[in-house]
Structures are given as C-alpha cells and as structure tokens.
C-alpha cells in the first residue's frame, strides 16, 4: 500500500477504506463517469474537497483530450447546511439527469465531504442512488446507522472507535496522497483542516510538524484557516476555485497576497465581535466542592451585527475558546437564535452531550420540530420559533443539572 503522509495506528485501521475511496475515484475517471464533490462550506469541508480536487484534476486531463470537457466531468459545490440537504440533492440529481439526457453521460460519482453522516442526509443520498449515482461519504461526525447501509462507501473514524483523531480534511489529504503522491502541500491542507476543527490528536501534531519542517508556523496555519472560513462564509453556496486553491497552497504567491489582503480585516472583525460577546454575554461562574465551571449565554439575535462575519458558530466558538484560555476551567457556551441554538462545551464535562439534548427535546416537545447534530461537545439544533421559550427552558435545566 502507498506510504501515508504520517504514521498512525488509527490511519492503519482506515487504510482499507481509504484505498477503496481512491480506487472508486480512479475507476470513475477511467469509466468517464462525472464526479461531483459536495462539501460543507467551512474550512474543513473546503480542505477535504480541495485535497481531492488536486488529485482528481491531473487524472481527468489525461482521460479527456479537450480541456473544455472538464466542466462536464468534474464539479465541486459547497453546501451551507451541515448535512446533504434535500434541496442540494434535488439540484444535483436534476443537473446530472439533464447531462445524461443531453450528452449521454453516465450517472455520477458523488463524494459528500464533511456533511454526509447525519440522519438528515439520508433522503438526499437515497434520491441520488435512486437514479443510479454512486455515493461516497467522507465525514468525521458520528454516523447514523442507516448511512452505513445507503452509502456505497463510508469513510468515518468513528467506525474504528476513533472519536476525534481525524477531521474530514485530514482523511481527504491521505486519499489524495494515495491517488497522486506528487501533490504539493497536502500536509498543509491537513494541518489547516485539523486546526480549524480543533483536532488535538497525535495525528494533527504530525501534520503540524511536517509544516514546521517547511518553515510554516501554527500561526500561519491558523491565519489561513480563518481566511478560508471567511471566504466560505462570504461565498455561500457559490463555487470559487482559484482563490481557494491559492489559500491552500502556502508556496503560491497569491496565497501570501490573499493572506496579507484579508487577514487584518478578518481579525479586526473577530476582535470586535469578541468585545461585544464579553460585554453583553450572560456569564455565570459556578463553584462546587470538586470543580469550578463557567456557563456563558449569548443572544445571537442581538449580539451579532446582521449577517456579518464571523458566522454564528464561530461567534460561539471564539467565546468558548477565550473563556477556556483565560479562566483555565471547564466552560459551556450556548448561543441562542430565534429558531436555533449553537453549543460548545469543554471535553472535560463528560455529562454534556448534544445528541442527548436533541433526544430530550424531541421527547418532551414533539411539536417543536427539533433537529440537529454535530459532535458530543460542539454542534447545533434547530426548531420552530414558536417553541423557543420551551426549548430554552429545557436546555437551561439540562445545563444547570450538569453544572451543579
């Protein structure tokens, strides 16, 4: 088997599936089957998609004589939702059925990155498969059991009992390396993805060391990660290629120019938002005989300025990071909107579980249309606005019980 970018027991356990994904991609290109990458519009999602794209494009150029054919055989599209949304699926299936009718194309290989393992993705995946698309899901969020049955290939570290050693971008960098070992800066893509998704594993540290060997610091990685997140937020569901490729290539002259052009203004936006958070948040310091803890509540409807960056999840995450860094105690931060709640919790608070909150709300408020997901300590839920007071009351009681 091909040499990996890093050494890892977890990576060894994933090797069979990593190679299955790589072979499926190469087979699709050989069969002249269109490839569509659907990815989350955040840094990790972009990292995974761009890594795969770097491996796919050279093979496509070899397989097709005319460069203009590329637009028919490769597409990359960001998704705003943290799952394979029915609307996205309907558009994807409509588009490939049109291409099939007009150009006699084969059904596509759809690669879903960083969004495909939750229950909300099942209908969209089933729709695509109903029209004979092949589906690969690459994700690091806890997978729903049915996803394992409907996807042709599922790559997810939870299946080897690895909770948070890898994020999607890290796994996709390894797949890209299997396909083409001549790709530059895959270690950088993996490190940026890991930093953005707050992966603290030995695997992340190895990617970081590979960057340091090339003179790239963790500050360089964090700056790139924030710029990519900003681009993803501002672009929404529009596809941008050249600028994103440049941001993921530290050796590109445009990389340095883009970082120089945007990093100061992005950091200023984040600084101002953090100041607003600290001024207006409800911060409760709790002390019991065992441990000090902090509970932070943010009203995102009032504390954020319209749709300006940072995104709501980032707004909550940066507050969580600041409170943990400055207080050195476990923290729970919750951001409320009229129809959604975003959660962040220190991993030390073992009792906290977003899945548990969702199940509790669905049980107690069947009419609230509660949905959501993420990781155990980081994620979000949505519900109908009418249910806000009831949802908030149950969430408050859940958190207060944990923090007593």
Query: pTM for the complete prediction?
Result: 0.94
The CATH class of the 9-261 domain is alpha beta
C-alpha 35/C-alpha 27 separation (Å) is: 11
Number of neighbours of residue 241 by Cβ within 10 angstroms = 10
* Residue of 307, 217, 216 whose CA lies nearest to 269: 307
CA 93 from chain centre, in angstroms, equals 23
User: Can 9-261 and 281-403 be said to share one CATH topology?
Assistant: no
Edge-to-edge order in the sheet of strand 109-113: 74-79, 35-40, 109-113, 134-138, 153-155
Q: Where are the domains of the chain?
A: 9-261, 281-403
By CB atoms closer than 10 A (0-12, 13-18, 19+), residue 276 is: middle
User: Does residue 285 sit in helix, strand or coil?
Assistant: strand
Domain 281-403 CATH (choose: 2.60.120, 1.10.10, 3.10.310, 1.10.155): 3.10.310
* Residue of 366, 320, 367, 364 whose CA lies nearest to 342: 320
User: Does residue 333 sit in helix, strand or coil?
Assistant: strand
The tens-digit pLDDT sequence of the chain (404 residues) is: 567 999 999 999 999 999 999 999 999 999 999 999 999 999 999 999 999 999 999 999 888 867 666 778 999 999 999 999 999 999 999 999 999 999 888 999 999 999 989 899 999 999 999 999 999 999 999 999 999 999 999 999 999 999 889 999 999 999 999 999 989 899 999 999 999 999 999 999 999 999 999 999 999 999 999 999 999 999 988 877 899 999 999 999 899 999 999 999 999 999 999 999 999 999 998 876 456 889 999 999 999 988 899 999 999 999 999 999 999 999 999 999 999 999 999 999 999 999 999 999 999 999 999 999 889 999 999 999 999 999 999 999 999 898 87
C-alpha 395/C-alpha 230 separation (Å) is: 30
CA 243 from chain centre, in angstroms, equals 19
User: From start to end of 118-256, where are the E strands?
Assistant: 134-138, 153-155
Which residue's structure tokens are 């909770």?
163
């Amino acid at each position: 088997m091909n040499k990996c970018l890093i050494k890892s027991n977890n990576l060894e356990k994933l090797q069979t599936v990593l190679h299955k994904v790589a072979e499926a991609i190469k087979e699709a290109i050989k069969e002249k089957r269109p490839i569509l990458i659907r990815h989350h519009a955040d840094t990790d999602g972009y990292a995974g998609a761009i890594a795969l794209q770097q491996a796919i494009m050279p093979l496509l150029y070899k397989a097709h004589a005319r460069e203009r054919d590329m637009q028919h055989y490769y597409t990359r599209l960001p998704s705003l939702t943290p799952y394979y949304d029915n609307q996205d699926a309907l558009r994807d299936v409509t588009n490939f059925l049109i291409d099939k009718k007009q150009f006699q194309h084969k059904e596509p290989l759809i690669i879903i990155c960083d969004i495909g393992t939750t229950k909300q993705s099942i209908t969209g995946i089933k729709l695509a498969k109903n029209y004979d698309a092949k589906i690969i899901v690459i994700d690091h969020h806890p997978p729903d059991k049915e996803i394992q049955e409907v996807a042709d290939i599922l790559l997810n570290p939870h299946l080897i009992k690895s909770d948070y050693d890898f994020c999607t971008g890290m796994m996709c960098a390894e797949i890209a390396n299997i396909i083409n070992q001549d790709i530059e800066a895959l270690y950088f893509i993996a490190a940026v993805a890991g930093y953005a998704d707050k992966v603290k594993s030995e695997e992340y540290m190895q990617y970081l060391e590979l960057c340091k060997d090339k003179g790239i610091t963790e500050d360089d990685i964090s700056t790139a990660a924030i710029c990519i997140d900003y681009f993803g937020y501002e672009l929404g569901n529009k596809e941008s290629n050249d600028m994103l490729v440049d941001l993921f290539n530290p050796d590109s002259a445009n990389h340095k120019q883009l970082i120089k052009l945007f990093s100061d203004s992005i950091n200023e936006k984040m600084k101002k938002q953090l100041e607003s958070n600290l001024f207006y948040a409800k911060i409760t310091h709790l002390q019991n005989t065992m441990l000090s803890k902090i509970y932070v509540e943010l009203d995102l409807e009032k504390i954020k300025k319209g749709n300006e960056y940072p995104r709501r999840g980032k707004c909550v995450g940066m507050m969580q990071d600041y409170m943990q860094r400055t207080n050195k105690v476990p923290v729970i931060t919750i951001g409320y909107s009229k129809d959604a709640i975003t959660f962040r919790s220190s991993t030390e608070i073992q009792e906290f579980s977003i899945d548990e909150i969702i199940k509790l709300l669905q049980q107690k408020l069947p009419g609230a249309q509660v949905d959501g997901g993420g990781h155990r300590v980081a994620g979000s839920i949505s519900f109908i606005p009418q249910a806000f007071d009831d949802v908030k009351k149950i969430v408050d009681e859940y958190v207060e019980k944990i923090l007593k």
